[in-house]
Every structure is written in C-alpha cells, then in structure tokens.
Amino acid sequence: MLIMGYGHTEGAIPENAILGLEDPDLNIESAFLAYGHTFSFFGRHSKFDVIMPYSTLDGTAQQFGKEVSREVSGMGDTKARISLNLLGAPALSFKEFADYKADVVIGVSLQVTIPTGQYDGSRLINLGANRWSIKPGIGISKSISKYTFELSADAEFYSTNDDFYGGITRKQEPIYSTQIHALYTFQRGMWLGLGATYFSGGEFFNNDIGADNRLSNLRLGATFALPFNKQNALRLYLNSGINTRYGTDFDAIGIAWQYNWAD
C-alpha cells in the first residue's frame, strides 16, 4: 500500500520547557509519504511499513521572559516498523480475506525511528530529534459483530543526543503508553474509530541532571476511513490532549489517501 497525507499540528513541543521555553504557540504543517507491505511469516499475517515526513514549523514562545520565534522547513525523522500477528489473522489471499471474519487477534510490533530529520544543535526547536529510538509493542483485539475493541501497550527507548542546544548531552527515560480503541464498521473498509492514549515516564536529563518532567498525559482521538473502491480510500483523523501534566499539549488534524495493490 502507498499512503500520502497532510497534517496540521498546533500547540507545544514540550521537551524544551525545562530550558526556559514557556507558552509555545507553534504550528506544524506536514506532508508525509508512507509505504506498507503485507506478507506471510510462517502462515501468520505480517506487515512492514515506513513513513517519511516533510514539515514546516513556525511560531513563537517565551524564553526566560523574552519572546523568541522560529521558522524552519525540512525532513522529519523516518519511522520503520514490522508487525506480526501471533494469534488469529492468518495470512490470506485478497479473495480469502474478503470472506474472513475476525475474532481474537494478538500481535506484536517493533518500530525504529531513524534520525533523518532537520536538526541544528544551536537552535532549541527542530524538526528532528538527532537520536535513534526503538519501540516494541503488543496488542490484542476482539471483534463482536460490527464492533472491534483494541488494547495495546508499548515502550519507547531512546539513544543519547550528544549535540543538544548549548552543547548539552541529553538523555531521556523510556516513555510507556497504553491505548484503547473502539471501532464500528459500517461496511467493509468503512469504519469509525474512537480511542484514548495514556503516556507516562520520559524524564529528561541534561548533562545527567534530571528534572521533574515525567509524562502523565491522556489524549483522545478519532479516525474515519472511507473507501472508494478496493484500491483507494481516504482517512480523516484528529486528536487532542485532555489531561496534560507535562508534554503532549497539542491538537492535530489530518487527511490521508491510501492506495492498495490488490491481488
């Protein structure tokens, strides 16, 4: 499958707050290109996908009581992921999949973030993070008639950024997250999903000095998928922070077009 999309985000880039950045009013316009390929791994349904964003950021904030601004464009960090279903969801042909009725599905995934994004160590806000990360996850879903209920959990581990703002060496503790979703299928390929994500952990250390900046946040979101035929579909999504102790205080909306090469 090939996916192209656009997203708008406004709000904060929270990881910079401990360096005196307050009241951020930032806007990010992003276009992204993604590719996914499904395959059989010992008879189990598996998938590889990669996403590459290009973004433009502009906005203002207060840094130590003085207004500062930033405008930058460039590539974001690339994300690649492999997923494998362990129970349920066997590998099927397109014709077999059309008649398949899902029940309980359990799967695992592993995502890697590659530091391909624009980065300038002399600036506090950038589009890339100048570090690698790895994110293992596990999920389970249960289908009942036209409803599907999903629960997943993952943990993201980060490498060190040795060129952070002001020559600082920045480390970050893992971020743990749990997601729950409820989906309603109107017809095959056309569905509406509502979900919630809870984040925790992720404290930063600048030159091995920590701060009380652990995440404890809840976000809500919705996605609507609208197929046009077997090969083309649109997805609309939006999400927002509901309870923010530190970080993830932003709103996002986007649209994506998906093209499938059907067998």
Give the per-residue pLDDT at 91.
Answer: 80
Retrieve residue 138's tokens.
């596990």
Whether residue 179 contacts residue 152, with contact meaning beta carbons closer than 8 Å, is answered with yes
Closest among 88, 16, 91, 79 to 49, alpha carbons compared: 79
Tokens standing for 146? 């036209």
Q: Compute the distance between CA of residue 145 and CA of residue 141 in angstroms, rounded to an integer.
A: 13
Q: What is the mean pLDDT of residues 5-34?
A: 79
In this prediction the pTM is 0.90
Domains of the chain: 2-259 (2.40.160.40)
Largest Cα–Cα distance in the chain? 62
pLDDT at position 43: 87
**pLDDT, the chain, mean:** 88
**Is the confidence at residue 55, as pLDDT, over 90?**
yes
Q: Which two tokens mark 33?
A: 């290109």
